[in-house]
Chains A and B, each alone.
Chain A
Amino acid sequence: VKRRNSTVVILVLTIALACCVVVAVSLGAVAIPFGDVTRMLIARLPGMNLSLGWSDTSTGLSISQAEAIIFQIRLPRVITAAVVGGALAAAGVVFQGLLRNPMADPYIIGTSGGAALGATIALLLPIQVVWLGFTLVPLAAFAGALATVLMVYNIARVGPRTPVTTLLLAGFAFSSMLAAVMSFLMLVSGHTLRRVILWTMGGVTASSWPQLCIVVPLILAGVVAAYALANDLNAFLLGEEQAAYLGVNVERRKLILLMVGSLLTGAAVSVSGLVGFVGLVVPHVARLIFGPDHRLLLPASALMGSLFLVLADLLARLLLAPAEIPVGIITAMIGAPFFICLLRRSKREYVF
């Protein structure tokens, strides 16, 4: 019965996400009727042979303009929001489970500091590099995030073991150091400062299809890998000693989980900058609703993270249209009160 329940949950969340994506794609600065948008989307599905019958004159757009707006601008943006939200929420579950710390988020052991420093350096360098459709900035952010985690992991290692406390402390110390270096670079960056600040605020605006073709598979692979490790995360909930008694190769699994979580975070950060809050709170919300079993918690969190960021980005685009609000403000402004409500209303004590 339990298994069937979780299948239903995942199915419902997936359908909700699909609906949200369609709604998010059909709303924007330029009004395009909902019917036309859905028809255009369906026409692009593989195996569909639908004549569009574009007759809309109310907006004064030609079909090529409408297609450019839908397929080149809105859809990539909505997909970016979905995968970034999913990646951050999944990474949040991984880090919270691994570190057994409710305050853990995907950035906790230095990924954000490393990514931000990498991006800042790339923004300051006067060179233009394009590799696989990526400029230097996302590449440097990704590399910075992973390099930082590797360094923190090595610093935190005590003999054959990597105690969680040392890992957290080393991560914190390392992040502070990187943040200081970044602040200094920002101070001397002159007119690049705006770009650095914009990047650190995060947002899901400027992704192109070639970028998505790399990031989406990477993130999907990361989520699947994290799901495959759900049983290990469940074992970690009992404490490392208990997990070892259950036959889990604790140190090995710890490293793998750390790598999967960091990969997810690095991939998300490379396309969206530092979007906060999703990776911290969505896993808690999912835990309050679905309980602590990672086999359900992980995929449910990922889907809820997608849903949440797609909606937050939609609001960010619409609330002050034609101006936009940085999505990080929306995620915290709507997510935090929602989370507080949920905490107060839940009848049972929070099970971590």
Chain B
Amino acid sequence: MKTYRSLVLWGLLALLIIALAGCAGAKAPEASELAGAAVPESGSVIDDAGRAVEIISNPQRLVSLAPSNTEILFALGLGGKVVGVTDFCDYPEEAQSIEKVGGMEHNLEKIVALDPDLVLAIGGSPAQVEKATEMEKLGLAVLVLQPGGIEGIMANVELVGKATGAEKEANQLAAQMQKRFDVITSRAKGAGSRPSVFFELDATDPSKPYTPGPGSFIDALISLAGGSNIGASAKMQWAQLSTEEIIAQDPKVIVLGDANYGVTVEMVKERPGWSVITAVQNGAIYPIDDILISRPGPRIIDGLEALARIIHPELFE
């Protein structure tokens, strides 16, 4: 009964918000017509959602809707132009003092009030692309970034450079990333072995932790770093492996992607049954900063290198 009532309440609230958003959307064309009166110079780029985005040249007010986007902007030396970020934009430190527009959900009013020349959103789900379209109806220029893999991140850097008038810096950064990427992956490829790796994403329930499954971004990173992911045999991209399966697969290396959330090497050693796993017996359990691994920004190369150093320490001596 209680849940039913709160469902009704939330439903009504959601309807109200949708209705308000609709009103705002209906008014938007006037706003853009007004802006059009000034006729600033503009160009068009194609974003990762396949949308052609009209952007004024050299945009001065930028809003980032994801930590990865914020990192790209700062890496291109555009930090001073960023006027809005999310609650999760924690890197570099300067980003933390910028006006927040929300966490997972973004406050549209606030974004509009910041009067940005360009909003950097992320894709990934139809709902997120829909949100971008909704913002566009409010007269905002919205670039959706949705990298599919590490090459996609480098392409994103160049795309952001093109959209913000920082092309030179972007090409430089992308080339630098590419160079490091090539060095690490060619070393890893040349390694004599491909140790089996268990990557722990979340062990809220330590009897069946989450691990990156086949086709996931981290699965690809592990391969690039010269390891073979035991989660690749799972069915889903975000898969749960029972302890039984982990013991049967017997990984040589355990990487703790949940180290930032309080999981320690000691805790893993003490889990029932884990002592027979080769990685545990050899002390090959390594914490990793999951942000480097999972955030599709310029630091992804640092993440790849950290992973390669864990899997193949001999290559980096």
Binding site for B on A (CB under 8 A): 28-30, 59-61, 64-65, 67-69, 72-74, 76-77, 191, 194-195, 198, 203, 205-206, 208-209, 317, 322-324
- Residues in B whose Cβ lies below 8 Å from that of A29: 242, 244-245
Known contacts A209-B272, A322-B235; A69 and B244 CB within 8 A of each other: yes
Q: How far is the CB of B257 from chain A (nearest CB, A)?
A: 14
Q: Are A65 and B250 in contact (CB under 8 A)?
A: yes
The docked-state distance in angstroms from the alpha carbon of A11 to that of B232 is 47
Rounded to whole Å, the gap between the CB of B239 and the closest CB of chain A is 8
Report B-chain residues with C-beta under 8 Å of the C-beta of A30.
Answer: 242, 244-245, 247-248
Q: Which of B221-251 contact A (CB under 8 A)?
A: 234-235, 239-245, 247-248, 250
Interface members, chain B 278-314 (any A CB < 8 Å): none
What is the number of contacts between chain A and chain B, taking CB atoms within 8 Å?
A: 67
Contact A322 B205 (CB under 8 A): no
Are A72 and B272 in contact, CB atoms less than 8 angstroms apart?
A: yes
Instruction: Decide if A324 touches B208 in the complex (CB within 8 Å).
Output: yes
The answer to whether A322 and B241 touch (CB under 8 A), given A68-B247, A73-B207, A205-B205, is: yes
Q: Does B273 sit within 8 A of A, measured CB to CB?
A: yes
From residue A205, how far is it (CB to closest CB) to chain B in Å?
4
Which of A28, A64, A323 has the most C-beta atoms of chain B within 10 angstroms of its own C-beta?
A323
Which residues of B approach A to under 8 Å, CB–CB? 202, 204-208, 234-235, 239-245, 247-248, 250, 261, 272-273, 275-276
Judge whether A206 and B273 touch: CB under 8 Å: no
> Shortest Cβ distance from B75 into chain A, in angstroms?
27
A175 to B184, CA, bound (A): 57
What are the residues of chain B within 8 A of A65 when measuring CB–CB?
247-248, 250, 276
Contact A324 B272 (CB under 8 A): no
A146 to chain B: closest CB distance in Å?
26
A195-B204 in contact (CB<8A): yes
Give the nearest-CB partner of A205 in chain B.
B207
| Most chain A beta carbons < 10 A, residue from B205, B207, B272 | B272
A322 to B40, CA, bound (A): 57
Q: Which residues of A contact B275 (CB under 8 A)?
A: 68
| Chain B nearest Cβ from A22, distance in angstroms | 17
Give Cα A205 to B273, complex, Å: 13
Q: B208, B240, B273 — which one has the most chain A CB atoms within 10 A of its CB?
A: B273
For the complex of A and B, 5 pairs with smallest distance between CB atoms: A72-B273, A205-B207, A68-B276, A68-B273, A72-B272
Are B207 and A198 within 8 A (Cβ)?
no
Contact A28 B205 (CB under 8 A): no
Q: A31 to chain B: closest CB distance in Å?
A: 9
Q: Collect the chain A residues with CB atoms within 8 Å of residue B243's CB.
A: 69, 73
Q: How far is the CB of A248 from chain B (nearest CB, A)?
A: 38
- How far is B247's CA from A296's CA once the two chains are assembled, in angstroms? 43
Give the docked Cα–Cα distance between A69 and B250 (Å): 12
| Cβ-defined contact, B240 with A323, below 8 A | yes
How far is A335 from B272 in the complex, measured between Cα atoms in Å? 31
